[in-house]
Structure 1
Amino acid sequence: MIVKSLFLDNFRNHRDTKIDFSDRFNIIYGNNGQGKTNILEAIYLCASGRSHRTSKDNELVMFNSDYFNINTQVFNNGLERNINIKYLNNQKRQIKINEIPIKKIGSLMGNLYAVLFSPEDLSIIKQGPGERRRFVDITLSQIKPTYFYNLQSLSKILKQRNILLKNLYSKSELVDTIDIWNYKLAEVAANIIIERRKFSEALSEFAQNQHKYISNNSEIITFNYECNFNYQNSDNKTEIMNIYLKLLEKSLNRDISLGYTSIGPHRDDYDILINNKSLKLYGSQGQQRSSVLSIKIAEIELINKETGQYPILLLDDVMSELDENRQKYLMESIKYVQTFITCTNDSKFKNILNNSARYFLIESGSVINCFENEHLH
């Protein structure tokens, strides 16, 4: 999986930026606020269909403009793909793959696999369940488009069921219609639960293999799926559906009172442990950083296992957060991965990467200098 080039037109502070990338390491450097992260954001948008910084497309448009246009050339499994994303005047964004418009964003998944690692990823550990669900959902959606469609269905069904719950508070005669939404919800929920459990088990195994090196065999990391209800660790869709349907029936009066669905995969969580202790509650800052590093490298390996291809890696200002040993370990772990690194100072990479990097100096949303590692000496 290789990104060959990127064109940005009125995206954030990039008015007219064209970049041809190295197949290995790409060092994007410059002072803060110049537009380095915007380049990674655009690539990530082409992979996952979403920005990691905002959910609003109009915030991606350059000031005093009314549109943005992203065009990226990707080599995927020997085939060339051109991914184009356009947005105009608060309209729904348009996505084309090889000039062919796609009707559903799920069709974008699988054309470009990407793993993003930024300082904000500590929120996977430090923040609430929503951050951990988001991390899992984005990765799973890339490698399993059907999972993405199930997530979309879950959101729509929950919205309709919650509307009905609010109406039931004053119109009890509508209660007979709740069974329809319960069944639809249970079917989609079972699909999501099965995939989340499989993903968590696989990620945990890969992360353990990575973390034993980082911790010198002193720590065991586990990434456990915590379903919102006891589904008895079943992998049988029908069994999970039946368990969930009974719980939905039992909680109906409470849900009517609350006005929303209180039980389900939209309230799932993941428990990250070090030596069987909560990393969030008991882990030091160093342990948390090391654990996120292990999880991100595990994410790369998991995508490769599931798809047969290594994803690209986007490192947004994380090298300064890692000590020298962790930096070296990260560089060794991603030797097969096309990598994009943003930083304020490129000098630390000149000896580490030898002749395998291309450097881009960014100022005010423009590439003002580009050179290969071999030109440094």
Structure 2
Amino acid sequence: MALQRITLENFRNHASTTLDDTAHFNLLIGENGAGKTNVLEALSLLSPGRGLRRASIGDFARRQLQEETAGHFSIGASLVEQGQVSARIGTYTTPDRPTRRLVRVNGADATASALSEWHAVSWLTPAMDGLFTDSAGARRRFMDRMALAIEPGHAKSVSSLEIALRERNRLLEDRKDARWLDAIEAQIAQHGSQVSGTRTRLVAMLGDELSALPPEPFAKPLLLYRSGGPLDPAELLATLARERPRDRAAGRALTGPHRDELEVVMASSGQPAASCSTGEQKAMLIAITLAHGVLASSGRPSILLLDEVAAHLDPVRRTELFARLRQGKAQIWMTGTEMAPFDAIKEEAAIWRVSGGAVERV
């Protein structure tokens, strides 16, 4: 078990919600628009990043009539390991700083990246169904979210890399002294090699887990990591210096980890995932999620958020999904509009009925 005593205050359509006595399987049942996905989004914000919807911070706070409560929200949870509370983690904003997300761990201020040191959070939502036909940037974000399971400091490396790349673009445009570029490119090479190295290890580990899965009922994918530049930091540094004129003309760096790509093909046919049917793409995405769940639960506590997944699977795939999730160590949170798809696990699950931003234990 991973999260217990979860509280949401002024978050989306939840004025004040508490979920306690959680289990391995946790089900949120209710009509569309009731606030089920809002709970999953709140849990996703107990990790680095912008959450499963990638929303702006200003969109999280529940709209209030009273000025004194407008513009801020809070999310908190107790992290439980082996039956003992190991930490109380939370994220929030304040009325005077409604667009700055703050984090606390055990009552002390912390950074968002520090949350990944305590547990791993991953998710699968209907919006991700188009991942294989989406942009390369979307797949890089997908890799980086999964990478936190094997390297908690990955979020900080990615952030540092992005900051350094923006600074280099500015220096190129301003035509600053080359020594400034030397310094910032050294940072890009350092952080870039860390980011690429972690992504490489992630894809290799996922490949090992996927190879152990049976080909049915979920289509087995093959993953290939395509680097956007040299993996060796010295080579990347030399490339950045050599390509300054070209990058200045382009207005951005054309070589580096920010150009990485995750390629996915169906193992049985060799067909690129982007060209497969919608059902095949969904099956491969679930297979990757299940393989990652094994990696995420091998060390720190882990949470897996599955939004409206069961309802879109046939009975055979649904049964297999539950069987694999049951064998894993990750705490599972799932949403649905009705209980029928979850009949196989209802006796072992914690169940909440969600309506109008309020939850009631069933």
TM-score, normalising length from structure 2? Answer: 0.91
- Structure 2 vs 1, CA of residues 241 and 278 (structure 1 numbering), >3 Å: closer, same or farther? farther
In the TM superposition, what is the alpha-carbon distance from 1:77 to its structure 2 partner?
A: 5.0
1:1-377 superposed matches below 5 A? 1-64=1-64, 65-76=70-81, 79-80=84-85, 81-89=87-95, 90-102=98-110, 104-168=111-175, 174-210=177-213, 212-214=215-217, 220-231=220-231, 240-275=232-267, 277-305=270-298, 307=299, 309=300, 311-335=302-326, 336=328, 337-350=330-343, 352-367=344-359, 369-371=360-362
- Structure 2 vs 1, CA of residues 121 and 187 (structure 1 numbering), >3 Å: closer, same or farther? same
Separation of aligned partners in 2, 1:57 and 1:354: 35
Give the structure with the higher percent helix: 1
Residue equivalent to 1:375: none
In the TM superposition, what is the alpha-carbon distance from 1:242 to its structure 2 partner?
A: 2.3
Separation of aligned partners in 1, 2:100 and 2:274: 42
Separation of aligned partners in 1, 2:346 and 2:91: 35
Separation of aligned partners in 2, 1:50 and 1:7: 19
Separation of aligned partners in 2, 1:60 and 1:316: 18
Unmatched runs of 5 consecutive residues or more in structure 2:
65-69
- Structure 2 vs 1, CA of residues 78 and 24 (structure 1 numbering), >3 Å: closer, same or farther? closer
Unmatched runs of 5 consecutive residues or more in structure 1:
232-239, 372-377
Matched to 2:277, the amino acid is S
- Structure 2 vs 1, CA of residues 146 and 22 (structure 1 numbering), >3 Å: closer, same or farther? closer
Matched to 1:71, the amino acid is G
Aligned residues: 351
Identity %: 25
Which range moves more in the overlay, 283-292 or 76-85? 76-85
- Structure 2 vs 1, CA of residues 94 and 297 (structure 1 numbering), >3 Å: closer, same or farther? same
Would you say the 8 A contact 1:47–1:111 is kept in 2? no
Matched to 1:96, the amino acid is R
Matched to 2:45, the amino acid is L
- Structure 2 vs 1, CA of residues 117 and 287 (structure 1 numbering), >3 Å: closer, same or farther? same
In the TM superposition, what is the alpha-carbon distance from 1:37 to its structure 2 partner?
A: 0.4
Deviations 1:279-326 (A, max 9, x none): 334312221111001100001011123x1x562221111112222111
Matched to 1:311, the amino acid is S
TM-score, normalising length from structure 1? Answer: 0.87
Deviations 1:60-83 (A, max 9, x none): 000132210112122035541211
